[in-house]
Structure 1
Amino acid sequence: MVQKKGDWKKEFEEAEKLHNKAIKGDKEAAKKAYTILKQIKQVSLNDSKVEALYGSSSALVARDQMDLIEKTNLAKRGLKSLDKAVATEPKNIDFRILRGNVAFRLPEMYFKRTKTAIEDFEFLIKEYESKKTNLNSEQYYEFLLNLGTSYNTLGKSNEAEKVWNKLVKMNPSFKPIIENVKRNGGE
């Protein structure tokens, strides 16, 4: 339990581990990470890393929430924190990955955040291509796939095709995945 300002590093490490489990689908880990991060956020003096992980955890809890109003509120709260973290550190790759993936997975019809996903995926792709980062090729392929899907969601089929053609040229195993995305409309 977080007691006072500055006394939250150990709890944060635990929340990070739980967050990683939550990303893989562990609903209980999502709730625990969110609860810990909510407490840490109150005493961490606007720490960007806490803000980003809190935002992502809020979105993960929203993913598993049955009540639509609470689901929406948690998702919006998560986006607000992720936006704040990215605004504070716009070149932080981890923050961009978190925000890009959250924005990508939210329904465009309700949240209108596909443009944010595009911005983040384009940033991440440029970072990978500049070879200045520790991003790996699997992440790069996923960013390309998601960027194309995001363009497709917004009805920008020419941009989507360009990105997907680039991806298939580098890794032909993505062709059936892309065909499936095209059949299902992108969202």
Structure 2
Amino acid sequence: MKGVDGDKKAVKIAYEIFLKLRKTEPDNALIEAYYGRTLALLGRDAVQPLEKADKAQEGLDSLNQEIPMDPNQKEIQLLRGNICLRLPESFFHCSETAIEDFTFLLDHYKENSNYLTPKQVREVLRNLSAAYQNAGKPDKANSFLQRLDQLELKKKS
């Protein structure tokens, strides 16, 4: 989480840890997903534009490979959705992937209310709104903001 919050040294340490872990457990989709996340964070922190793009794409490719390995793993869906949401749409064109991931999470939550925590539900709704906005669908984005507002009102009452 330190790396996500901007600590470049923590990103490098996490990258080294997941690089080693994936060698010991090559079929572990969650380890591979976190490895992909660290690659994307290395891209975020890179100085050279080409290195930024390459690392981000490498991380995204890694996450895209892990979804089929364990399609019901919510952590992987959260990781990929969050990364896709934060990558520039004009270059990576992955807002639709973020929408798919966040919709998947909400659909599973509808089936099982223990699937996501209340905080995760709010985060997913907020992120889904942002993903629709990035995809050029402001009406859909607003509908998810309204759902989030309704949730917040229920929480307060």
Q: Judge same fold: TM > 0.5, yes or no.
A: yes
How far the C-alpha of 1:134 sits from its partner, in A, is 4.4
Q: Relative contact order: is structure 1 or structure 2 higher (C-alpha 8 Å, sep ≥ 6)?
A: 2
Q: Residue by residue, what CA displacement relative to the aligned partner does 1:119-154 show, whole Å, maximum 9, x if unpaired?
A: 011111122232354421111111111111111111
Q: Distance in 2 between matches of 1:130 and 1:24?
A: 32
Q: Is there any run of 5+ residues in structure 2 with no aligned partner, and where?
A: none
Specify which of 94, 97, 102 is matched with residue 75 of structure 2: 94
Specify which of 140, 151, 164 is matched with residue 145 of structure 2: 164
TM-score, scaled to structure 2: 0.89
RMSD value over aligned CA atoms?
1.6
Structure with the greater alpha carbon radius of gyration: 1
TM-score, scaled to structure 1: 0.76
1:75 aligns with 2:38: no
Partner of 1:103: 84
Task: Name segments (4+ residues, structure 1) moved above 4 Å.
Answer: none
Q: Is there any run of 5+ residues in structure 1 with no aligned partner, and where?
A: 1-19, 173-187
Specify which of 133, 137, 145 is matched with residue 152 of structure 1: 133
Aligned residue pair count: 153
Q: Residue by residue, what CA displacement relative to the aligned partner does 1:71-108 show, whole Å, maximum 9, x if unpaired?
A: 11111110111111111111100000100000000000
